[in-house]
Amino acid sequence: MSDLRLDPTQLDRYSRHVIMDEVGPEGQQRLLEGSVLVVGAGGLGSPAIQYLAAAGVGRLGIVDDDVVERSNLQRQIIHGDDDVGRPKVDSAADYVAQLNPDVTVEKHEQRLTPANVADLVADYDVVLDASDNFATRYLLNDHCVLSGTPLSHGAIYRFEGQITTFDNRNRGAETESTPPCYRCLFPEAPEPGTVPDCATTGVLGVLPGTVGCIQATEVVKLLLEKGETLEGRLMLYDAMGMTFETVEIRHNPDCPVCGEEPAIESVRDASYEETCLLPAE
């Protein structure tokens, strides 16, 4: 980390961080020098981008190939009515520019694919998965495992959310236990059509705000290297019952990407089109 150089404006902006022993000026400098790739600028990405920018994470990459629709505005809080029809990456970048001039936004108006994932992820310290489809979730998981990149996962359905963290930085090191990955939980995606999307079933507008904020919290802790993350645990949130439950996630020695004899050694080994299938036998 470079020499501390918070200017008076930054000392004022981040004063509530600076006075905390767990953050301090050194931690704030670490955030300002940190970088996060947010995949998806929708329901989960909106609060995550909002709070990562407010916290002073110095460089945010935003991946999204969609445009703002009016039906998005019930939950995608960084976009406004005037943004309808605009690319979400443009709207998100404008929001961040108004919120915090310390933050540089790098716009990636494209869909994540096996061909571009390595180039996109390589430039960032942490990846935050705010996607809304299984193909992207599996692709990000597999690449982040193989590249040793920390990954924050979040997903929502109607009134329910789930969050976990996969800190892949220590994979391969001699540790007491091997950390799990997303495929340890779900080796393959459900069959197409078995899990309806929010356009079909709806989603409580405030739900992604809670889940996305927890993801942002996890990312800030990863950048600060402070606190205990959700690695090895899956947090389940029920907004209707207002309950949180945390369940343990165990590493699967037969996992196709992080197991003892992995079937996936490159993201080009698996299909990410519909069912995120494993390589053919």
Residues with active-site annotation: 198
Four-point Cα dihedral 127, 235, 267, 90, nearest 10: -40
- Kind plus residue range of the DSSP H or E element containing 146: helix 134-147
User: E strands within 182-262?
Assistant: 233-238, 243-248
The pair of three-digit structure tokens given for residue 210, joined into one six-digit string: 């809670």
CA-CA distance, 121 to 101, in Å (whole number)?
A: 23
The pair of three-digit structure tokens given for residue 187, joined into one six-digit string: 């080796």
DSSP assignment of 22-90 equals TTHHHHHHHHHT-EEEEE--STTHHHHHHHHHHHT-SEEEEE---B--GGGGGT-TT--GGGTTSBHHH
Residues β-bridged to residue 163: 154, 235
Give the strands of the sheet with 243-248, arranged side by side: 104-108, 59-63, 35-39, 126-129, 151-157, 160-166, 233-238, 243-248
Tell me the HSE value of 132 on the side-chain side, using a 13 A CA sphere.
20
DSSP assignment, residue 132?
S
Four-point Cα dihedral 246, 247, 252, 258, nearest 10: 0
The pair of three-digit structure tokens given for residue 106, joined into one six-digit string: 């790098």
